[in-house]
Amino acid sequence: MGVTVKKGITSSPSDVFDDTSPELGGNLDGNGFEITNLDALDINVDPVKGLTFGGVVTGLRSPSPGSVAIMAGGANQVEVTTSFMLGRLNGMFTIGQTRLASYTVPQYTWRGDTDSGLTRGGEDQVSIVCGGVEGIRFAEVGGGVLQSNNVKAGITADVGSVQGGSPLTSSVNQISVCANVGDAVTAPACITGLSHVLTILNSGANACDVFPASGDNLGAGVDTAVSLAAGANITYRSYDDTNWFAVT
């Protein structure tokens, strides 16, 4: 004979918790508790149906198959499904800040890739971080939004005009050392369906060769370098999986 621990739920040697309540249906037996006979009605239509705490308007429920909602005040406040998470606060979705403000450590990330995601280094700012490196920052400035891109400065051109030397790894790249005429840097590879923006500034003492990645074309021919004079700069955009064109 079991001992009643809550209305409709008893314990027994054969089943740690046997549910005998007609309102719930299901059991607690070490394998979890399953609600088997509650209709999945919209919470705003029938807030009573669910697991409630201290009243019928705060608790958990399943608004639809495959979803779980936290309700408060008689309405869904957070709903989690197999494809998204949705929250509500005065008509807006909000996410709590989980880490200290940082431009390089993501606050919202993915399991298995925790150094890539979204972060917030300061008020009215959002940054995209990839591999622990801040790639793009959006910031409100004077009523507008300023986009800032990652910069790679202090690049030394590879000695000799060789494709593949000194790869350019950012959207904005500053060559600080070009010891000999024709020392080289190499552009990133084009990607199908995406357009790279590549700015190169040559602050070195000599003209620098800029090679495309293997199989690509900066405008002088496939696998052919373009010379960038000392003190000059140029911006390229890619438009397919092979070709770039000069913007300036």
What's the CATH code of the domain at 192?
2.60.120
Q: Is residue 170 in a domain?
A: yes
Run of H or E residues at 175? strand 172-177
Distance CA 102, CA 133 (A): 11
Is 202 found in the same domain as 126? no
Residues 6 and 21 sit within 8 Å (Cβ to Cβ): no
**190-229 residue pLDDT tens:** 999 999 999 999 999 999 999 999 999 999 999 999 999 9
User: Does residue 30 form part of some domain?
Assistant: yes
Q: What is the pLDDT of residue 81?
A: 73
Question: Between 183 and 8, whose confidence is greater?
Answer: 183
Residue 194 shares a structural domain with residue 234:
yes
User: What is the pLDDT at residue 48?
Assistant: 43
Q: Are residues 121 and 135 in the same domain?
A: yes
Length of the chain: 248
**In terms of domains, do 178 and 213 share one?**
yes
Residue 214 domain flag: yes
pLDDT tens profile 149-180 = 999 999 999 998 899 999 999 999 999 999 99
Question: What's the structural domain count of the chain?
Answer: 3
The closest alpha carbon to 80, from 99, 98, 60, 97, belongs to: 60
Q: Is residue 92 part of a domain?
A: no
Q: Tell me what the pLDDT averaged over the chain comes to.
A: 80
Asked if 75 and 12 sit in the same domain, the reply is yes
Q: Is residue 81 domain-shared with residue 43, that is, in the same domain? A: yes
Least confident of 11-25, 106-120, 128-142, 175-189: 11-25
190 within a domain of the structure (yes/no): yes
| Residue 141 domain flag | yes
- Mention every residue, 6+ apart, whose C-beta is less than 8 A from residue 94: 87
Same domain flag for 169 and 230: yes
Residues 173, 143, single domain; the answer is no
Residues 128 and 204 in one domain: no
Among 58, 87, 116, the domain-final residue is 87
- Out of 47-61, 67-81, 154-168, which region has the weakest mean confidence (pLDDT)? 47-61
Q: Residue 210: helix, strand or coil by DSSP?
A: strand
The pLDDT tens digits of the residues spanning 1-46 come to 333 334 444 444 444 444 444 444 444 454 555 555 444 444 444 4
Q: Residue 118: which domain range?
A: 108-149
The values of phi and psi at residue 103, to 5°, are: -95, -10
Q: Is residue 68 part of a domain?
A: yes
- The pLDDT score that the predictor gives to residue 97 is 58
Predicted TM-score (pTM) of this structure = 0.64
Do 75 and 44 touch, CB atoms closer than 8 A?
yes
Kindly state whether residue 129 falls inside one of the protein's structural domains.
yes
Instruction: Give CA–CA dist 222/240, Å, rounded.
Output: 13
Cα 31 to Cα 29: distance, rounded to the nearest angstrom? 5
Tokens representing 11? Answer: 């314990």
- When pLDDT is cut at 50, 70 and 90, the band that residue 70 belongs to is confident
% of the chain at pLDDT higher than 70: 70
**DSSP readout, 92-152?**
B------S---SSS-SEEETTEEEEEEE-SSTTEEEEEETTEEEEEEEEETTEEEEEE-EE
- Per-residue pLDDT at 120: 87
The gap from C-alpha 100 to its chain's centroid, in whole angstroms, comes to: 17
CA 139 to chain centre: 17
Q: Which amino acid is at 218?
A: L
